[in-house]
Amino acid sequence: MTSAGTGTHCPYCALQCRMTLHHTGDGIAVRPGGRGGLCVKGWTSAALLDSPHRLTTPLLRVGGELCPVDWDTALDTVARRLVEIRAAHGPDGNAVFGGGGLTNEKAYLLGKFARVALGTSQVDYNGRFCMSSASAAARQAFGVDRGLPFPLSDLDGADAVLLAGANPAETMPPFLAHLKGAIDGGGLIVVDPRRTPTAELAALHLAPAPGTDLALALGILHAVVADGQLDEDYVAERTAGFAAAWRIAAAWWPERVERVTGVPAADQRRAARLLAGAGNAHVLTARGAEQHASGVATAGAWINLALALGLPGTAGSGWGCLTGQGNGQGGREHGQKADQLPGYRSITDPVARRHIAEVWGVPEGSLPGAGPSAYELLTALGTPGGPRGLLVFGSNPAVSAPHAGLVAERLAALDLLVVADVVLSETARLADVVLPVAQWAEEEGTLTNLEGRILLRAKAVEPPPGVRTDLGVLHGLAVRLGQPPERFPAAPEAVFAELRAASRGGPADYSGVTYARLRAGESLHWPVPSPAHPGTPRLFLDSFAHADGRARFAPVDHSGPAEPPDAEFPLYATTGRILAHYQSGAQTRRVPELAAAAGGMFVEVHPDTARRAGLTDGAVAVVESRRGRTRATVRYVPSLRPDVVFLPFHFAGDERANLLTNPALDPTSRMPEFKVCAVRLLGERA
């Protein structure tokens, strides 16, 4: 690190804010390096580097206790037990679970490790819980999925922006700089059951009952058409399927939608007029719209609205999905997904299989087929016919998976659980072997941010003695499993060179991206099909990625939540993130400043609802669903709908929001319904 500091990127969300790290007398300090600055998570991220919670020695469970061992003992033990499980139960006896925070190189090598070194089809990752519904909807509508198919800077010129199920004022505050024009011009529309800090900035806040977003999108589409604002030329020239979509939306006039969602018909019509009257407009969705058993249809309904207004593939306007995890975009492109090969290729496509088998130097027939999705994989662990061994990289499913109590039981039932992590996460506590690995600023690697731009996150500090990189761990295990060492390189740039070749010709083509170009400061959005190609900041300007060049309307209808409230469980529970924490909290709960800002579980409740349950502000409540119960401190929130409670999902133990959540899966994306389940409120001693 030089005195001017070393440039790198934040370890957390998909905005991937630039920062520099500086040595000071007190340790390592963070300085913002880009537009919009940093949020409190970025400012405090250096605390992770010298955290007293840091793991620096492999741990092996002996006599029920996790005991320090050397690396050879740890890796030899893991390799031996993986081989034993494979001999007893076949290749699918072992499974792999990755994460959307892993670099592109790690996601790529992890998928290759599963398919080649283990020969298993049982590989998926926590991004299935985050972005898979919007991803599937985008592929259906446009033929390709890139979260924002335009650069972030396009939002600067937007007169109107509709945010459906996004709360960037807490999840990624620097992003708000891009919405300043829409906010100042009275063009921000926020769809959220809660009056969030983002909703406070909006000209129009629409608060539908949880699980009714799709009906609301149909109502606004209806208002657009009824008001004569359908972009008929665009629909005729650039799309297909409007008639079938309209046949459904025609039956969802705003007054009918008001009865289902609670959103006044006049507000639906106002939203339609704000969007239709804007020079440049965007419709953006995030987890609030997507984490439903009908998540693909719901994201499709918001895409329908954008298509009816003629926004996607138009300079200065569009539809996009706000990706959440740091490498949520790249993590879903390079092969750690159950149904996918690198370059965003399908594992069932014979051409893709041949190409990847050739790059990997293995027979095509040796590549397994598609495996189960994340929740299905996790709940099959240790069951008859299910996997008996699991390797976890960059994920904490004991906290972050839906129906977390059941998932923790399944993890505990394994013959072998191996967790590579930076700290002793809740999942690592259950492990047979824990492998301490390097983290963000301690190693080089690429990530693909929410606008599809590939970033090189530089190494800024040395990792502590005793840890290895994830790539080094995969290399060490692969060699012990009999693989040629050169097939699993441990150097990030070497892995990236192979990823480039593997992605060549695929939808997410990185073949023209090199570390040298990224080090030189080039801004490269995929696809980048050759070293001379400048990248593709805006997709779809000329045509969409379907063979006929047209975008598709989705014929989607409202179905409501999988588990609506009833007499026994009368409230909707919805979950989400708060400013001080990130995902399962494994990192941020260990940053003292963030733990002080938000140290424990709370539940937001309307005061009338709380009083009916006999709960005062600050009391400890039990929130119960059909799957479990969690403890939380009551917060009175008068702006909340009386039929809704909100719980953040960052806390552990008996404070896990995911002890409650409903694992009902979307039929296409297999994403669980994190955003709505039925609960009741009880006093602490209930």
- Write out the residues near ligand SF4 by the rule CB under 6 A: 10, 12-13, 15-17, 38-39, 41-42, 172-174
d(CA 595, CA 507) in angstroms, rounded, equals 41
Geometric angle at alpha carbon 319, from 172 and 309, rounded to 5°: 135
Closest CA to 140 of 302, 375, 310, 354: 302
Q: In terms of DSSP H, where are the helices of 504-543?
A: 515-519
Quote the least distance from Cβ 302 to ligand SF4, whole Å.
Answer: 23
Contacts of 177 (CB under 8 A, 6+ apart): 35, 36
Quote the least distance from Cβ 39 to ligand SF4, whole Å.
Answer: 3
d(CA 329, CA 448) in angstroms, rounded, equals 6
Closer to ligand SF4 by CB, 175 or 488: give it: 175
Quote the least distance from Cβ 217 to ligand SF4, whole Å.
Answer: 27
Element (H, E) at 623: strand 620-624
For the chain, give the number of residues. 686
Quote the least distance from Cβ 207 to ligand SF4, whole Å.
Answer: 25
Quote the least distance from Cβ 451 to ligand SF4, whole Å.
Answer: 13
* CA distances for 402 relative to 82, 176, 508, 584, angstroms: 27, 30, 30, 12
Quote the least distance from Cβ 36 to ligand SF4, whole Å.
Answer: 8
Quote the least distance from Cβ 591 to ligand SF4, whole Å.
Answer: 12
Closer to ligand SF4 by CB, 572 or 649: give it: 649
Closer to ligand SF4 by CB, 35 or 80: give it: 35
d(CA 527, CA 663) in angstroms, rounded, equals 34
Contacts of 423 (CB under 8 A, 6+ apart): 51, 53, 54, 55, 586, 587, 590
Strand partners, 630: 623
Closer to ligand SF4 by CB, 288 or 663: give it: 288
249: how many CB neighbours lie within 10 A of its CB?
Answer: 28
Closer to ligand SF4 by CB, 100 or 174: give it: 174
Closest CA to 129 of 267, 292, 269, 281: 292
d(CA 365, CA 367) in angstroms, rounded, equals 6
Quote the least distance from Cβ 198 to ligand SF4, whole Å.
Answer: 13
Closer to ligand SF4 by CB, 458 or 613: give it: 458
What is the SS3 assignment for 636? strand
Closer to ligand SF4 by CB, 327 or 396: give it: 327
Per the listing, tokens 């690190």 go with 1
Closer to ligand SF4 by CB, 552 or 577: give it: 577
Handedness of CA 12, 13, 17, 18 (dihedral sign): positive
59 φ/ψ angles, rounded to the nearest 5 degrees? -125, 140
Quote the least distance from Cβ 450 to ligand SF4, whole Å.
Answer: 10
Closer to ligand SF4 by CB, 22 or 355: give it: 22
Quote the least distance from Cβ 107 to ligand SF4, whole Å.
Answer: 18
* CA distances for 650 relative to 219, 508, 590, 602, angstroms: 34, 32, 12, 11
Geometric angle at alpha carbon 393, from 388 and 398, rounded to 5°: 65
Quote the least distance from Cβ 583 to ligand SF4, whole Å.
Answer: 10
d(CA 208, CA 292) in angstroms, rounded, equals 14
Closer to ligand SF4 by CB, 16 or 20: give it: 16
CB 428 within 8 A of CB 128: no
Query: What is the four-CA torsion angle of 133, 138, 143, 145, rounded to 10 degrees?
Result: -80
Per the listing, tokens 């800002």 go with 597
Quote the least distance from Cβ 179 to ligand SF4, whole Å.
Answer: 14
277: how many CB neighbours lie within 10 A of its CB?
Answer: 12
Closer to ligand SF4 by CB, 173 or 537: give it: 173
Quote the least distance from Cβ 325 to ligand SF4, whole Å.
Answer: 10
Q: Whose CB is nearest to ligand SF4?
A: 42
What is the SS3 assignment for 82? helix
* Structure token digits, residue 458: 């530089």
Contacts of 288 (CB under 8 A, 6+ apart): 164, 165, 166, 167, 191, 192, 193, 213, 574, 576, 675
Quote the least distance from Cβ 192 to ligand SF4, whole Å.
Answer: 19
Closest CA to 237 of 550, 545, 547, 541: 550
Closer to ligand SF4 by CB, 340 or 439: give it: 439
Quote the least distance from Cβ 5 to ligand SF4, whole Å.
Answer: 16
Closer to ligand SF4 by CB, 38 or 221: give it: 38
d(CA 434, CA 55) in angstroms, rounded, equals 9
Closer to ligand SF4 by CB, 31 or 533: give it: 31
Closer to ligand SF4 by CB, 161 or 594: give it: 594
